[in-house]
Chains A and B, each alone.
Chain A
Amino acid sequence: MQIISKGLTFTYNREADFHRQALQGVDLTINEGDFFGIVGETGSGKSTFIQHLNGLIKVQGGSLWVGDFNLAPTDKQGKKQYKKMLKQLRHKVGMVFQYPEYQLFAETVFEDVAFGVKNFFPTLSDEEIEKRVAKAIDLVGLDYNKVKNKSPFELSGGQKRRAAIAGILVSEPEVLVLDEPVAGLDPVGKKRLMSLLHTLHDTGIVKTIVIVSHDMDEISENVNRVALFCGGRAVKVCTPKELFSQKDESSSRLGLPVTAYVSEKLNEVGVELSSDFKTENFIKDLVKKYKETV
């Protein structure tokens, strides 16, 4: 599903007098198959934007299409119809909030993961539910037989997060949206979560991934396109390479991934590298340059 946002605006607490405009016209297209990154300073509207993608926030101004779903409520559409659409949309667009482990509630991990399927497919048989739950728990790298009867609150922080993500994957979304999914994880946990996302994307289990992140290394390593948010707008939509090689005010405040930083320093001493900033390609390029000069 392609996501097209045109002139999307949003204001929190519109009627109160302390309101402020969080989105000031977001123009952005996310294609099917993208591993899409969203970066930007804190308060730039990233979370507000992605919450629109499965209708958790109603469109106030501008237009937003997610696949065939028109998220700006039209007058013709009844309330009932809109709600029905939202349910369909939410099963297609999975949303992993920041610290998703805080949404765990059920007595067992099984029940918690099953929550989504039961909501979206109330007619499913018990065996079918179990199959799907087992698949989702396996996918996130937890041992189904070990954890299914455990209380979600007995898991470690990283495991909790995996269980929470399984609770989203279980409804087999086409688009997976994640708000700072690795925040608060240790380096190993971060790597494993990112490689999980890669596996999901590469195997086509999830077609499109949208990820909000403050970690530029993560962005340069993983995404194929990236949007830079600033003051409630997507001021740049480009490849990570373009983002980290251009020098202007809005991107200089972001910081650089290590690879981009090193190539900048090398550039200063006259070594020109041309790769993108994925570590693998960067090293290849560096070795090639080295061999050329020796």
Chain B
Amino acid sequence: MKKEWPLWEVFVRSKNGLEHRHFGSLHAADAEMALENARDVYTRRSEGVSIWVVESKYITASNPEDNGELFEPAQDKVYRHPTFYDLPDEVKHM
């Protein structure tokens, strides 16, 4: 075999009103085949109403090594949450 079929990531919207969610991956020669294979592999039991496929090489992912830098700063920003604010119990609907 000359060349392995590229890898694609599959995203499926399970029903209208919900977002597309990552379902898995598969190999296919081109986008059209990736869509057809995704339909056969991931929606055999009415799991979806819409499919996106994207070649895996186009996804840029954050690196777990950078998790501290990226996500820890959010931890001491408690004032971004409603519970940070002290209001008397008499205040309703807030």
> Do A and B truly interact?
no
Q: Which residues of A contact B (CB under 8 A)?
A: none
